[in-house]
């Protein structure tokens, strides 16, 4: 049973898909009148239902025109007229000061989700106060039915077209490999890998319909190095296993979906100040080891990751696809760095 609950802040309309009441930002418009019960056929219907609204049509042309790199300089560095879905937007790298705000501040309309309704509501209030166009749903992305509901809500909100999907949600349990239970394995693979994979599948028609789609995965520097974060995290988020996972998926989709003008890239952070790792960063010895291993001599901040996410979604990045880019203060290029004046 899906219990994803949409939470919107401004205008009250009847949701065409679920026949329930949604609150959508007043600048959005809903043009669909579908009441079809079959979610997949509804998604197809929405995807092919291009708006006749002249203002929306005008904005849609901005990313389409820039897809080939021939666009006015200002619009190359803007997300105006674009729509985005960011998973896990209430804390950390997805947080109000990071990815959601980065994309909204660059002009995109953003929909986000998390599992904690009061926290999501609080974020939505703050975004509204800042003048950002952000809506949200309570959704556990580890549930297939909740993912489907989430994408249907996004299809309804954005008239079947989505420019940006940021697969940000991820979690970890750190243990020696021999101590993981089957349940822990399945949970980590479900949250870190299956959710992103399925959301890409579900969002593909919407990304294609936008005329210029962009998927950004958030993985980890563990994709290029062993960082002692646990082998399941490595396996699910990174490229330590032969079958690939997120970093390899970035490359596969870049090639497979290029014909649909959908770019896929991946940002790979090193230790970044978020709720996911705050308990580790409180351990002074461990923090010192991280800092010593990092040429820039500090951990990262969430907005130092979200700035790359924002750039990768811009028309200015229209020729960048299939890349895994580390945001790590130089950690992954730091092999052995002794003092130079040893003599």
Active site residues: 233
When the beta carbons of 237 and 263 are compared against ligand NAP, the nearer one is: 237
Binding mask 250-269 for ligand NAP (x = CB under 6 A): -------------------x
Q: Crossing angle for the helix pair 195-209 and 246-256, nearest 10 degrees?
A: 20
**Closest approach of Cβ 37 to ligand NAP, in Å?**
26
Q: With binding defined as CB under 6 A, does residue 220 bind ligand NAP? A: yes
Closest distance of CB 276 from ligand NAP, Å: 3
Measured from the CB of residue 282, what is the shortest distance to ligand NAP in angstroms?
Answer: 13
For position 141 contacting ligand NAP by CB under 6 A, the verdict is yes
DSSP per residue over 128-163, as a string? Answer: HHTT--EEEEE--TTSHHHHHHHHHHHHHHTTT--S
Q: Is 275 in the site for ligand NAP (CB under 6 A)?
A: yes
Tally Cβ neighbours within 10 Å of residue 279: 8
Which residue from 114, 137, 163, 326 is in contact with ligand NAP, where contact means CB under 6 A? Answer: 114
Window contacting ligand NAP (CB under 6 A); options: 27-35, 40-48, 72-80, 89-97: 89-97
Binders of ligand NAP: how many residues, by CB under 6 A? 32
Q: Is 177 left (phi over 0), alpha (psi -120 to 50) or beta?
A: alpha
> Smallest distance from the beta carbon of 304 to ligand NAP, in angstroms?
11
Q: Would you say 218 or 317 has its CB closer to ligand NAP? A: 218
Token reading at 229 = 């974060």
Q: Does 90 bind ligand NAP (CB under 6 A)?
A: yes
Query: Could you count the other beta carbons within 10 Å of the beta carbon of residue 206?
Result: 24
| HSE-up (13 A, CA, CB side) for residue 299 | 17
Q: How far is the CB of 263 from ligand NAP (least distance, A)?
A: 19
Stretch that binds ligand NAP, among 18-26, 30-38, 45-53, 134-142 (CB under 6 A): 134-142
- Does 138 interact with ligand NAP (rule: CB under 6 A)? no
91-96 contacts at long range (C-beta below 8 A, 24 or more positions apart): 91/119, 91/274, 91/275, 92/272, 92/274, 92/275, 92/276, 92/302, 93/168, 93/218, 93/269, 93/272, 93/274, 93/302, 93/305, 93/306, 94/166, 94/168, 94/169, 95/274, 95/302, 96/123, 96/126, 96/127
Least separation, in Å, of the C-beta of 198 and ligand NAP? 12
Interface map 17-36 toward ligand NAP (x if CB under 6 A): --------------------
Using alpha carbons, select from 184, 183, 159, 173 the residue that is nearest to residue 277: 173
- 330 backbone dihedrals φ, ψ, rounded to 5°: 90, 5
Query: What mask, x for binding ligand NAP by CB under 6 A, covers residues 317 to 336?
Result: --------------------
SS3 15: coil
Binding site for ligand NAP (CB under 6 A): 87-94, 113-116, 119, 139-142, 168-171, 191, 218, 220, 237, 269, 271-272, 274-277
């Amino acid at each position: 049973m899906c219990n994803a609950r949409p939470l919107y802040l401004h205008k009250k309309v009847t949701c065409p898909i679920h026949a329930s009441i949604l609150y959508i930002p007043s600048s959005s418009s809903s043009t669909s009148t579908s009441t079809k019960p079959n979610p997949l056929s509804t998604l197809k219907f929405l995807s092919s239902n291009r708006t006749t609204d002249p203002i929306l049509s005008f904005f849609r042309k901005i990313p389409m025109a820039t897809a080939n790199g021939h666009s006015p300089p200002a619009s190359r560095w803007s997300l105006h007229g674009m729509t985005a879905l960011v998973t896990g937007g209430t804390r950390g790298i997805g947080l109000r000061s990071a990815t959601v705000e980065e994309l909204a501040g660059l002009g995109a309309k953003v929909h986000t989700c998390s599992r904690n309704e009061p926290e999501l509501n609080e974020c939505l209030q703050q975004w509204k106060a800042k003048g950002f166009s952000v809506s949200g749903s309570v959704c556990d992305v580890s549930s297939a039915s909740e993912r489907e509901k989430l994408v249907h809500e996004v299809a309804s909100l954005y008239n079947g077209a989505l420019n940006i999907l940021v697969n940000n949600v991820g979690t970890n349990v750190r243990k020696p490999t021999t101590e993981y239970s089957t349940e822990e394995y399945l949970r980590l693979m479900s949250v870190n890998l299956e959710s992103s994979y399925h959301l890409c599948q579900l969002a593909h028609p919407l990304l294609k319909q936008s005329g210029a789609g962009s998927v950004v995965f958030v993985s980890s520097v563990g994709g290029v190095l062993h960082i002692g974060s646990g082998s399941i995290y490595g396996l699910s988020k990174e490229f330590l296993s032969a079958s690939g996972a997120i970093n390899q998926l970035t490359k596969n989709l870049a090639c497979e979906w290029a014909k649909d003008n959908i770019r896929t890239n991946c940002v790979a952070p090193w230790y970044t100040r978020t709720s996911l790792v705050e308990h580790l960063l409180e351990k002074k010895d461990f923090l010192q080891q991280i800092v010593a291993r990092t040429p820039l001599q500090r951990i990262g901040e969430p907005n130092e990751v979200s700035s790359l996410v924002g750039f990768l979604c811009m028309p200015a990045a229209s020729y960048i696809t299939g890349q895994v880019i580390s945001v790590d203060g130089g950690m992954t290029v730091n092999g052995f760095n002794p003092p130079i004046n040893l003599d």
